[in-house]
Amino acid sequence: MSAQNKQFKLAARPVGVPKDSDWEFTNAAIPAAGEGEVLVRVHYVSLDPAMRGWMNDAKSYIPPVGLGEVMRAGTVGEVIESNNPAFSVGDHVTGYHGVQQYGVSDGKDLVKVDPSLAPLESYLGGLGMPGLTAYFGLTDVGAVKEGDTVLVSGAAGAVGSLVGQIAKIKGARAVGIAGGPDKCRYVVEELGFDACVDYKADSFLNDLKEPLKSGVDVYFDNVGGDILDIALARLNRHARVVICGAISQYNNTTPVQGPVNYLSLLVQHARMEGFVVFDYVKQYGEGVQQLATWYSQGQLKFKEHVDTGIENFPSTFLKLFSGENFGKLVLKVIED
Amino acid sequence: MSAQNKQFKLAARPVGVPKDSDWEFTNAAIPAAGEGEVLVRVHYVSLDPAMRGWMNDAKSYIPPVGLGEVMRAGTVGEVIESNNPAFSVGDHVTGYHGVQQYGVSDGKDLVKVDPSLAPLESYLGGLGMPGLTAYFGLTDVGAVKEGDTVLVSGAAGAVGSLVGQIAKIKGARAVGIAGGPDKCRYVVEELGFDACVDYKADSFLNDLKEPLKSGVDVYFDNVGGDILDIALARLNRHARVVICGAISQYNNTTPVQGPVNYLSLLVQHARMEGFVVFDYVKQYGEGVQQLATWYSQGQLKFKEHVDTGIENFPSTFLKLFSGENFGKLVLKVIED
């Protein structure tokens, strides 16, 4: 067992696609739990598109990661020392310990999870923030209802794969957009979407026609760019466009591409609404419970893409932007 | 009195700013009212930005005006012949007779108005479609509430001038954007907005700071383009952006300018929603009643910009896009 705490600190503000030198890979001493605190040994680090935004020095829904600070990330791990009566050694918890192997917390941001119900890493995926993002985004912001056609981009991804499955549970039709035939096959055959269209295919626009012949009632956008415009052009009356992310734009060095077709909102009396999952923090309990129930009933499937070795963090993180990952991307950082 | 019916018919689909030759100015025989119909002598024709959209051969919330058809426009006039028991000769009515001096209707789209309560032309403005647009757009789509800061572009225009006044009635702060010091002075001193900022001034962005120091809760957009982006960058949490129009974009020969700052919706959990006033057709009665009550109590002021002579239709219409009009633009087409 490593006697040190390997960690990635933010070293520079990236321009465009982050490069290795934007982080510093260092060793620190394993911290001790102070009064009221717990020490957590991190098993898995979550890799999420939003992390790219946290690296920019820009006002947003949370402050940016400071230069010299451990790179912020969601984590799941085990309590190995506790001075907090709410947690015992051996408890498994999710938290925000960042890209490192050990972290200390006062417990306020920790949530206990049960590894006997689902694999530990799924608490960073379908039963974690991506699952909650899909759940609140589709049911609250998107106000999905029976008979709707729900279109979702990033359909094989951590959030998108859940959006379509929840749409089906709610009695809607689910149409996915994903990159490549393997992902599309998975989305339809494994996850049960009604259709999935490959945006990398030359026939993409034509392929959308049949599955969207009755228009789009909810478009759940994870990507922005051209695909957002394509969806806006196909809205039904009173459609809802859920702005969850814009991964196509996060590494831009030019201005963000604004949706040219936004006047569809006027013609169709439609709305476009954004959110981040933190807006729903008071309802996390209800959300996790619902997701876990569906999971235990076999109504939801999750897939994680697990890379191993904390030293691989930069190259693993970049898979999000190349679309190389297949399923929720996590990095196993615990060493045997 | 003219024994003929002067009219403008659509002759060509305009590219960019419409030119005279996009219409044909002709004389027709004055039509007769058929069974169940009424003949209306038109006094005033309404000139609205939306008419530019109706000239394009594009799918929208209503069909485009066909080539060779009388140019569609709202009108107010007097019934001079009636075969419909719901209307008597001498009744004053609003309708959609288009840019001509006489029109026939089966009565379904006609609304009786009372010229003793307000000048006839105001039924095309504050007590007509622009008033209803402001009313439903701000109260329903914008969900304005006490204490909000409401920002509205085109603040001296037919819709914008009402938006700010209704905001004040609802206990909100009203901040306008208009072109030039005369319009801004009118908006503040005559209409009672809390502030108005001149978008033509070099100091525009700086001038916005003080009136928007507590951010924007509702942005009512009539213009699109750069000003929409400026508003998006200043949204408060849970803000509402009402997409009513985009006059800056209607004569574009290049693609519409999409709002680059749309990811503010995500950061602020805000929404952008569009509408057209026709969506509220079942509530017109309620809306007109409310507007007329406020008007009679001295809480709403309207201003009409009246040009005279049907032959001047093209040049008068273009004032909407140069910003030359000051108040609701109407054309008096009745001849003595």
Query: Each residue of A61-111: pLDDT tens digit?
Result: 889 999 999 999 999 999 999 999 999 999 999 999 999 999 999 999 899
Whole-angstrom distance, CA of residue B143 vs CA of residue A310: 49
Residue of B nearest to A267 (CA): B61
Task: Considering only the beta carbons, identify the residue of A261, A269, A276 that sits closest to B266.
Answer: A276
Whether A32 and A111 map to the same domain: the answer is yes
Report which of B137, B175, B173 is spatially closest to residue B155, judged by C-alpha positions: B175
In a domain, A141, yes or no: yes
- pLDDT for B245-291, tens place per residue? 988 888 888 888 999 999 999 999 999 999 999 999 999 989 999 99
- Same domain, residue pair A119 and A148: no
B135 domain residue, yes or no: yes
Return the pLDDT at B3.
67
pLDDT for the residue numbered A1: 46
Residue A288's SS3 state is helix
Contacts of A240 in chain B (CB under 8 A): none
How many domains does chain A contain in total? 2
Dist CA B122 CA B124 (whole Å): 5
Residue B296 inside a domain? The answer is no
Residues B299-304, mean pLDDT to the nearest whole number: 92
| Least confident piece of the model among A25-34, A98-107, A278-287 | A278-287
Task: Enumerate the residues of chain A whose CB falls inside 8 A of the CB of residue B261.
Answer: 256, 258
In this prediction, residues B292-308 reach a mean pLDDT of: 93
Position A229 in a domain: yes
Which of B218, B257, B266, B269 would best serve as a mutation to test chain A binding (most A beta carbons within 10 A)?
A: B266
Dihedral, B243, B245, B248, B254 alpha carbons, nearest 10: 80
Question: 114-153 in A: which are within 8 Å (CB) of B?
Answer: none
- Residues B271, B133: one domain? yes
**Do residue B18 and residue B88 come from a single domain?**
yes
| CB contact (8 A) between residue B272 and residue A265 | yes
In this complex, how many residue pairs, one in chain A and one in chain B, have their CB atoms less than 8 Å apart?
Answer: 105
ipTM: 0.89
Q: Which residues of B246-276 are buried (b: 16+ CB within 10 A; e: fewer)?
A: bbbbbeeeeebbbbbbbbbbbbbbbbbbbbb
Percent of chain A with pLDDT over 70: 99
The rounded percent of chain A whose pLDDT value lies above 90 is 87
Q: Mean pLDDT throughout A252-277?
A: 94
Q: How far apart are CA A45 and CA A330, in angstroms?
A: 6
Of B245, B258, B279, the CB nearest to A262: B258
Average pLDDT in chain A: 95
| Parent domain of B59 | 4-125+302-332
- Is residue A292 assigned to a domain? no
Are residues B180 and B89 located together in one domain of the fold? no
- Please report, for the domain that includes residue B233, its CATH number: 3.40.50.720
Q: Are residues A106 and A61 in the same domain?
A: yes
Residue A326, pLDDT > 90, answer no
Neighbours of A26 (CB within 10 A): 14
Say if A319 is an interface residue toward chain B (CB within 8 Å). no
- Looking at the structure, do residues A239 and A157 belong to the same domain, yes or no? yes
Confidence of residue B203 (pLDDT cuts 50, 70, 90): very high
Q: How crowded is residue B335: how many other Cβ atoms within 10 Å of its Cβ? A: 11
Judge whether A308 lies within some domain: yes
pLDDT band at A255 (very low <50, low <70, confident <90, very high): confident
Residue B177: its pLDDT value, please? 98
Domain assignment present for residue B297? The answer is: no
Whether the per-residue pLDDT at A2 is higher than 70: the answer is: no
Does one domain contain both B93 and B210?
no
What confidence tens digit (pLDDT) does each residue in B160-173 have? 999 999 999 999 99
Mean pLDDT for A7-30 is 96
| Average pLDDT estimate for A236-264 | 92
DSSP track, B253-321? SSPP---GGGGHHHHTT-EEEE--GGGGGGGHHHHHHHHHHHHHTT-----EEEEE-GGGHHHHHHHHH
Contacts of B301 (CB under 8 A, 6+ apart): B126, B161, B165, B190, B191
Query: Does A281 lie at the interface with B, CB-CB under 8 angstroms?
Result: no
Q: Which residues of chain B lie closer than 8 angstroms to A259, CB-CB?
A: 258-259, 262
What CATH number does residue A16 fall under? Answer: 3.90.180.10
Residue B122 has pLDDT above 70, yes or no: yes
User: Which of B252, B269, B276 to probe the A interface (max A CBs under 10 A)?
Assistant: B269
Å from B118 to nearest chain A CA?
31
Partner A contacted by B270 (CB < 8 A): yes
Task: Tell me the average pLDDT across B94-113.
Answer: 95
Q: Could you tell me if B217 and B310 lie in one domain?
A: no
* The predicted structure's pLDDT at residue B1: 46
Q: What number is the average pLDDT over the span B15-44? A: 96
Main-chain phi, psi angles of A178, to 5 degrees = -145, 170
Give yes or no for residue B194 having a pLDDT over 90. yes
Q: With contacts defined as CB-CB under 8 Å, which chain B residues touch A272?
A: 262, 265, 271-273
- How many angstroms away from the CA of B222 is the closest CA of chain A? 11
The nearest CA of chain A is from the CA of B174 a distance in Å of 23
Q: Both A117 and A141 in a single domain?
A: no
Residue A325 has pLDDT above 80, yes or no: yes
Q: Residue A3: what pLDDT?
A: 67
pLDDT at B2 over 60: no
pLDDT band at A251 (very low <50, low <70, confident <90, very high): confident
- Give the bridge partners for B75, in sequence order: B45, B95
CA distance B125 to B57: 27
> Is there a domain that residue B10 lies in?
yes
State how far the Cα of B128 lies from the Cα of B288, in Å rounded to an integer.
7
Q: Is B17 exposed, middle or buried (0-12, 13-18, 19+ CB in 10 A)?
A: middle
Inter-chain residue contact A258 with B257, CB threshold 8 Å: yes
Clarify whether residues B147 and B110 are in a common domain: no
Interface touch B267/A61, C-beta < 8 Å = yes
Lowest mean pLDDT among A50-64, A298-312, B219-233, B266-280: A50-64
Q: Is the pLDDT of residue A317 over 90?
A: yes
Please judge whether A243 and B257 are an interchain contact, meaning their C-beta atoms are less than 8 angstroms apart: no
Question: How do residues A104-163 score in pLDDT, each as one tens digit?
Answer: 999 998 999 999 989 999 999 999 999 999 999 999 999 999 999 999 999 999 999 999
Q: Is the pLDDT of residue B158 over 60?
A: yes
The per-residue pLDDT for B299 is 95
- Nearest residue in chain B measured CA to CA from A266: B274
The stretch A292-309 carries a mean pLDDT of 94
Shared-domain flag, residues A152 and A117: no
List, as ranges, residues 197-226 from B with C-beta within 8 Å of A.
224
pTM: 0.90
